[in-house]
Amino acid sequence: MKNIIFIAPPAAGKGTISNMLTDTYHMTHISTGDLLREETSSDSELGKYIKEQMQSGALVNDEIILDLLKKRIAKDDCNDGYILDGFPRNVEQAIAYENILKELNKDLGYVFLLDVDKELAKKRIVGRISCPQCGAVYNEYMEETKPKKDGICDKCNISLVKRDDDNEETFEKRFTTYFEKTEPLINYYKEKGVLYNIPASCGKDPTFAAIKKVMFGE
């Protein structure tokens, strides 16, 4: 099983597809954010430093992230393939990551670009509502994920809530920033011949099927 990197704009369904891959093929899902949080929960000096950086709003430098990532992908559960989430974010990180792969004798694998229509992505974000009790997520604009009763959780029968940042203004900023920052990275992987453009506007099942076709010819 080859390793996977996802490049995806907001609301492309990266989290859902990652879960489907881990459930179906038992791939290890690695989030750089989780690696940092795990280290901060330890009593190490590095963990304390990372916690201070995160609490102050400062970015944790690439050297630390790469070191944590190297230790993680060297573990046995990554030998049969893993999904890398949230990294790399730019070409410099991509090159540094490839140097780690060479050291560990691991393959880069697939880079999937999840391509989603902007207006659909906006609906997914702006219409998102969730249950504060069970965590179930619905969407008031999408027929397939609407709650049966407007604004009420199907399971808990309590009022659903919306995140403060799930609004059009925030979405526009996030979507624009995504393309500004990731275009060089997309071009980098395209030139290397490892980038696969996956349509992600038709729902999770067709998206998952397209990824399986690339990976296994299914």
- Helix or strand run (H / E) with residue 37: helix 32-40
Mapping DSSP onto H, E and C, the string for 81-117 reads: CEEEECCCCCHHHHHHHHHHHHHHCCCCCEEEEEECC
CA gap 97, 66 in Å, rounded: 7
List % helix, strand, coil for the chain (3-state, nearest 5): 50, 15, 35
CA gap 218, 202 in Å, rounded: 18
Active-site residues, by number, are 14, 89, 128, 163, 174
Task: Determine whether 6 is exposed, middle or buried from the number of CB atoms within 10 Å of its CB (0-12, 13-18, 19+).
Answer: buried
Contact 89, 33 (CB under 8 A): no
Q: Identify the bridge partners of residue 84 per DSSP, sorted by sequence position.
A: 5, 30
